[in-house]
Amino acid sequence: MLHRSWFPDRLVGDRVILKRHVSGNLAAFMRWYADPEVSRLTRYQDGPMARPEIERFFQARVLGSDSLAMAIHERASDRLLGTCAFSQLDGENGSALFHITIGEKDAWGRGFGTEATRLMLEHAFERLRLHRIGLSVFAFNERAIRSYRRAGFVVEGRAREAIRRDGRWWDEVEMSILDSDWRALLAAVPVGLGAVSAVGAGGDGSGEAPLTDPATGRPVDAPTIQRIG
Ligand SMILES: CC(C)(COP(=O)(O)OP(=O)(O)OC[C@H]1O[C@@H](n2cnc3c(N)ncnc32)[C@H](O)[C@@H]1OP(=O)(O)O)[C@@H](O)C(=O)NCCC(=O)NCCS
């Protein structure tokens, strides 16, 4: 279970705002994850999730504290576009896995996903002081791979023929970004990565002091959080 102090109330970018999910977002999840195209890109199983499965996922992984999940809203309209999350947050090793789904398909390919990913990475590296964020993506998901590369992820390996889709085998691509990659990226491109200000979680947006666990007063990068999952 993640400590509440890991959760920002919101992360503000140029075009998207990430906010804590609310229970009313379940209706959108029901629509997104019932969509064959979304499920093709996000699920190992062929075919969309059943409604009870979506509800369980939403309660445990989205509203619950198993993952650090944030709703992606378009900043201009406040429209809910999708969701992104860190799972398997491991304080001891400073690592987590990243997941993202923009469920509103008309919002694909418009830069929202890349900006949301950068906001999450900024939170991970600047506020949580994590060391490594990993992810895996199906090799046929070229849009996602391009977006992850732009956000700073690099390919570190492939699980060969890990998924069968559209009548053939595909690799699963493993990608990651280290805090050193993130800093190199910032140094190379000091502007234009998407301005961010964190609100909540004890953060004042200054980005100066690392988060501390209120129970112990220790920095959150101390090994107080056990591996989950
Ligand atoms: C993957 C996802 C988060 C990316 O977010 P997005 O807002 O659509 O992506 P962006 O517009 O920020 O960036 C997409 C990149 O892919 C390119 N692209 C867009 N459509 C593409 C397509 N059909 N094929 C290949 N590349 C494409 C864009 O040009 C852009 O690359 P560039 O910045 O180098 O020009 C989003 O598309 C999504 O949620 N898809 C469905 C679920 C999913 O695949 N989740 C990831 C599972 S690992």
What's the pTM value of the predicted model, to 2 decimals?
0.87
What is the structure's pLDDT at 217? 41
To which residue do tokens 């309660």 refer? 59
The per-type count for the chain, helices as H runs and strands as E runs, is 6, 9
Nearest CA owner, ligand 1 atom 19: 109
b (16+ CB within 10 A) / e for 152-180:
bbeeeeeeeebbeeeeeebbbbbbbbbbe
What is the structure's pLDDT at 66? 82
What is the structure's pLDDT at 169? 98
Whether 79 is in the pocket of ligand 1, judged by its Cβ within 6 Å, is no
Please tell me the total number of residues recorded for the chain in this structure.
229
Distance 143 CA to ligand 1 centre (A): 3
Whether 67 is in the pocket of ligand 1, judged by its Cβ within 6 Å, is no
6 three-class SS: helix
Q: Label residue 187 exposed, middle or buried (CB < 10 Å: 0-12, 13-18, 19+).
A: exposed
Whether 143 is in the pocket of ligand 1, judged by its Cβ within 6 Å, is yes
Which residues, in sequence order, are CB contacts of 180 under 8 Å at separation 6+?
none
pLDDT truncated to tens, each residue of the chain (229 aa)? 666 678 898 999 999 999 999 999 999 999 999 999 999 999 999 899 999 999 999 999 999 988 999 999 999 999 999 999 999 999 999 999 999 999 999 999 999 999 999 999 999 999 999 999 999 999 999 999 999 999 999 999 999 999 999 999 999 999 999 999 999 999 997 655 554 444 544 333 333 344 443 334 444 433 222 222 2
Q: What is the DSSP letter of 110?
A: S
Whether 102 is in the pocket of ligand 1, judged by its Cβ within 6 Å, is yes
Q: Give the nearest ligand 1 atom to 41 CA.
A: 44
Which of the four CATH numbers 3.40.630.30, 1.20.1250.20, 3.30.200.20, 1.10.260.40 does domain 4-194 have? 3.40.630.30
Going by C-alpha positions, the residue among 86, 78, 71, 92 that lies closest to residue 18 is 71
- CA dist 177 → 22, 76, 116, 133, 204 (Å): 29, 29, 15, 5, 25
What is the structure's pLDDT at 53? 96
What is the structure's pLDDT at 5? 72
Whether 105 is in the pocket of ligand 1, judged by its Cβ within 6 Å, is no
From 143, 150, 155, 176, mutation site for ligand 1 pocket: most ligand atoms within 8 A of C-beta: 143
* Strands of 10-12's sheet in order across: 154-165, 168-178, 132-138, 95-102, 80-90, 68-74, 16-20, 10-12, 197-199
